[in-house]
Amino acid sequence: MFLVLEDRLDEKASADILDALVQLGMQAELVRSSKQVLIFVHSDVRAVPTHKFTRIPGVARVMRTAPTSPLALSDELRTVDLTSNQNSLTIGGGAAPVIMAGPCSVEGREQLLELAHKVKSAGATMLRGGAFKPRTSPYEFPGLGQDALSYLREASIATGLPVVSEVMSAEQIEIALDYVDMLQIGARNMYNYELLKEVGKAGKPVFLKRGLSATIDEFVHAVEYIMLAGNNQVVLCERGIRTFETRTRNTLDLSAVPLLKSMTGLPVIVDPSHATGKRSLIRSMSRAAIACGADGLMIETHCQPNQSISDAEQAITPDDLALISADSLALFESLKGLDETPAAAAGPQGEPRPRLVVACATPGSN
C-alpha cells in the first residue's frame, strides 16, 4: 500500500508520518516518485481500515493494491440485535455467548417441540433447525420445507427462543421471512453472490457461514455484498475449512475468530458440529471457541442423536449441551476478569487497539 502525502509537506512532516507508522509496528519507507511524495508500507494492511491512515495529518490519499471492503471492515465492535416474541437478544459486542441449538433437520412437529424445551432448559438462547437442506446428493433427505418453518415458529413461541434457519434461493427467503428471526446462508452458498444480494435486501439479520475453502478475505468480501445491499446486521460463523486431514470432517480454524472480529467488529459464532463431525470433540472445541473470543456457538442437538436423519454422528443430547452451556458461561466470566486487568487492556505490545491486525509479513510468503 502507498500513502500519498500532501503536496507542500516539508521533510520534518514526512518523517513524522513515517515515525507514526513504525510506532504502529509497520515497515514503511519514504519514496519520491516523479510526481509526488509517497510512503510505501511494506506490511500487510488489508485488514486496517482506510481511515486509520487518512486520519494521520499530512496523508492525502491511500492507494491500495488489493481490493478492500469499506462497509464490512470496521474497528468498532458491532452487535446484532434480535427481537422475537417480545424478547430481545444481543449477539456480539461483549455480550454473553449465544448458544444456538437444535436439530440438523427438523424431522417433525412433536420431535421439535420436545427438543426446543429441552435445549432451552440446557441453556440454549436460540433455536436452529434445517427446513431447506443443501444435500450433496439429490437423493438425500431435503428437509420438510415450509412445514419445518412453521414448527420452528411454533417452538419459538412456546419457548421464547429466536429462530435461525437456512435459505438457498430468493423464493425460500420470501417464505422464511414469516417464520424466522435470522436468515442463514450456508457454507455452500457463501460464493453465491446473487443470493447474498437478495438476503441483503430482506431486512432480517443474516447468519453467514464461511465457505468450506473460503479465505478470510473472501469471507469479508461476501459480507460486503450483503451490507452493500443495505443490511448491516450480519453474524459470521466459522464452521471448519477443507484440508487434507481425514480424522475430522473439516478443520476448525479458530484463528479466524480473532481475525474476523478485529477486521470487521462483527459477532463471530463457531459451529463445532460441522467443523469436527465428531460428537466426542464438540465439548472441547466449544471451550476453545469461547476462550478465543467467539460470541457464541451453534451446536447440532437431538434427543436421540443416533436416530437423527442427517449428520447423526455429530449431534449431541440436550444433557451434553447443558455441560457446554455451563462451560461457556464459566469461561466467559473468567475471561472478563482477565481482560479487565489494566495490563491486559493494553493488548500485546501495548497497542492501544488490540483488535487491530497489523501483519508484518506479506501474505503467502511462507
β-sheet bridge partners, residue 88: 83
Q: At 153, which amino acid appears?
A: R
Residue 83: left (phi > 0), alpha (psi -120 to 50), or beta? beta
Nearer to a copy of itself, 95 or 288 (CB): 288
Nearer to a copy of itself, 98 or 254 (CB): 254
Nearer to a copy of itself, 63 or 157 (CB): 63
Nearer to a copy of itself, 84 or 118 (CB): 118
Using CA atoms, how far residue 316 sits from 110, 119, 301, 321, 324, in Å, is 19, 11, 5, 7, 11
- 282: three-class secondary structure by DSSP: helix
β-sheet bridge partners, residue 237: 209, 269
C-alpha cell of residue 249: 470432517
Q: Whole-number minimum distance, CB 287 to a copy of itself, in Å?
A: 4
Nearer to a copy of itself, 51 or 353 (CB): 353
Distance between CA atoms of 95 and 295, rounded to whole angstroms? Answer: 7
DSSP H or E stretch at residue 91: strand 87-91
Q: Whole-number minimum distance, CB 86 to a copy of itself, in Å?
A: 33
Nearer to a copy of itself, 89 or 221 (CB): 221
Nearer to a copy of itself, 154 or 217 (CB): 217
β-sheet bridge partners, residue 207: 184, 235
Q: Whole-number minimum distance, CB 156 to a copy of itself, in Å?
A: 25
Q: Whole-number minimum distance, CB 93 to a copy of itself, in Å?
A: 17
Length of the chain: 366
Q: Whole-number minimum distance, CB 22 to a copy of itself, in Å?
A: 9
Q: Whole-number minimum distance, CB 152 to a copy of itself, in Å?
A: 20
Q: Whole-number minimum distance, CB 249 to a copy of itself, in Å?
A: 5
Whose CA is closest to 166, among 148, 191, 154, 139? Answer: 148
Would you say 252 and 98 are in contact if contact means Cβ atoms under 8 Å apart?
A: no
DSSP H or E stretch at residue 37: strand 37-41
Would you say 186 and 211 are in contact if contact means Cβ atoms under 8 Å apart?
A: no
Distance between CA atoms of 318 and 210, rounded to whole angstroms? Answer: 26
Nearer to a copy of itself, 2 or 158 (CB): 2
DSSP 309: S
Would you say 296 and 99 are in contact if contact means Cβ atoms under 8 Å apart?
A: yes
How many CB atoms are located within 10 Å of the residue 18 CB?
A: 17
Q: Whole-number minimum distance, CB 217 to a copy of itself, in Å?
A: 7
